[in-house]
Amino acid sequence: MSFAAPPLPGRARRWLGSLGLAALDLVYPRVCAACGRAQTGQEAPQSLKSVFCEACAAGLPWVHEPYCERCGEMFDGAINGTFACSNCDGVRLHFDYAVAACPARDEVREMIHRFKYGHELHLRRPLSLLLARALEEKRLAQEDLRDWCLVPVPLHPNRELEREYNQSWELCVRLSELTGIPAAPVLERIRETEIQARLTRLQRQQNLRGAFRLRPAGLWRPAADVRGRKLLLVDDVFTTGSTTSECARVLTREGGAARVVVITVARG
């Protein structure tokens, strides 16, 4: 498996990031990623206030307890201890669990839509800063995530050619730069599928079967090898979990991965 280069020491990375932002500010004044208002402060590149104005940073919605320990869906009311929601009852999910940083609503949903469909590639940085919050979830916080690997949910080549990039891989790259966790595109999507939104949950699972495979060896690269690895499967939004579950099935059953945890910017 190929991995990202080792990150720069934290102080050097922060200094270079600040220098880069200052240089860009001379040409392109910074604006809030959510509301578009001009940014005037010089915040650290790892800070949410480096990409959001003070009001938007303070108003960001975050996933909080109580939430389902399997799919991460939030629930209102007082629930003591961990629990699995009714949507996960009787459903075979091939990942360990899924966590998201934010509910998919308001500014967060709009930014993801602009990133995916509006070709606003600059939004990968604010969205990766949001995604980093998912790593603070109590179970992941107990792990040494430098031993894990970030894996993007792949797009079919036709879709990626149309969009010009895979939004999940862009998030992986930026998150790797922020955290030092290596990233590798070890999966391929080999079959185009019907649009998932039109299908029931069972139909979604059937629709995706056989759509993914481990990346085979190429002319200049070895075959993907995830045997015994612990993986963070990255996507922008988690809805029903059908896509990520099928990816996790390939990674664990066919690839021999030890664990797969799904992390997303938003929970739909």
Rounded CA-CA distance 2/167 in Å is 19
The DSSP code for 219 is S
pLDDT of residue 5: 38
pLDDT of residue 81: 64
Mean pLDDT to the nearest integer, 229-243: 95
13/144: higher pLDDT = 144
Question: Quick check: 108 and 61 in contact, CB under 8 A?
Answer: yes
Q: How does residue 92 score in pLDDT terms, banded at 50, 70 and 90?
A: confident
Low-confidence winner among 19-33, 121-135, 182-196 (lowest mean pLDDT)? 19-33
Phi, psi of 78 (to 5 degrees): -95, 115
Q: How many CB atoms lie within 10 A of CB 95?
A: 23
Q: Which two tokens stand for residue 151?
A: 């894996």
46/228: higher pLDDT = 228
pLDDT of residue 153: 98
In order, the DSSP letters of 100-134 are: EEEES-HHHHHHHHHHHHS--GGGHHHHHHHHHHH
pLDDT in tens, 237-268: 999 899 999 999 999 999 999 999 999 999 98
* Cβ within 8 Å of residue 78, ≥6 positions away: 66
1/62: higher pLDDT = 62
Question: Quick check: 160 and 166 in contact, CB under 8 A?
Answer: yes
Q: How does residue 199 score in pLDDT terms, banded at 50, 70 and 90?
A: low
Question: Quick check: 172 and 200 in contact, CB under 8 A?
Answer: no
> Residue type at 260?
V
3-state secondary structure 136-195: CCHHHHCCCHHHEEEEECCCCHHHHHHHCCCHHHHHHHHHHHHHCCCECCCEEECCCCCC
pLDDT of residue 204: 72
Domains of the chain: 11-59 (no CATH), 60-267 (3.40.50)
Instruction: Give percent of the chain with pLDDT exceeding 70.
Output: 82
Rounded CA-CA distance 106/112 in Å is 10
In order, the DSSP letters of 40-102 are: -S---TTSGGGTS-HHHHHH-----SSB-TTT--B--S---S----GGGTT----SSEEEEEE
pLDDT in tens, 3-30: 433 343 444 444 444 444 444 444 456 7
